[in-house]
Amino acid sequence: SGFALPTQHVLGRSEVVPSKPNTELKDVYESVSGFFRPTTCRHNDEQTLIPCHVGEGLNETECLKNKCCPSKTSHELTCYMPFKDSTQLTFRLLVLVAGGFFILGCLPFCCCACLQR
């Protein structure tokens, strides 16, 4: 009597709540593409800064939301395109290949253990 009654809809056994209803193929493609195309905002002196396509005069938060790099070298904050990070790509591919060889190396032992039972 002193407790409030719940007003939320309680799901029955036949109803299923989707965990991520907006997960699409595009999101999966972007994550895989991001893994094989790493970028960085660190630049060398010989690299030229290419302005980002989102526009001029953006603050740092808007610049990062649009996957651009903020530059604080001038009086106005400008956004520039990130650079390809070949070192990170090499490291990721090395770990991926090493993991694949490890799994292939363990596969015969797992098969033999399962077949002996």
Q: What DSSP element (H or E) covers 70? A: strand 69-71
Closest-CA residue to 91 (of 30, 33, 47, 36): 36
What are the tens digits of pLDDT across the range 67-78?
A: 888 887 665 657
What is the number of structural domains in the chain?
2
Residue 18: per-residue pLDDT: 53
- Could you give the CA distance from residue 78 to residue 56 in angstroms, rounded to a whole number? 6
For a pLDDT cut of 90, what percent of the chain falls above it?
A: 32
CB-based contact 80:51 (threshold 8 Å): yes
**What is the domain range of residue 90?**
84-116
Average pLDDT of the chain is 79
pLDDT of residue 28 exceeding 50? yes
Residue 26 lies in a domain: no
Residue 5: per-residue pLDDT: 47
Could you tell me if 75 and 62 lie in one domain? yes
Residue 57: per-residue pLDDT: 64
Could you tell me if 68 and 79 lie in one domain? yes
Could you tell me if 92 and 73 lie in one domain? no
Closest-CA residue to 85 (of 29, 22, 33, 42): 42
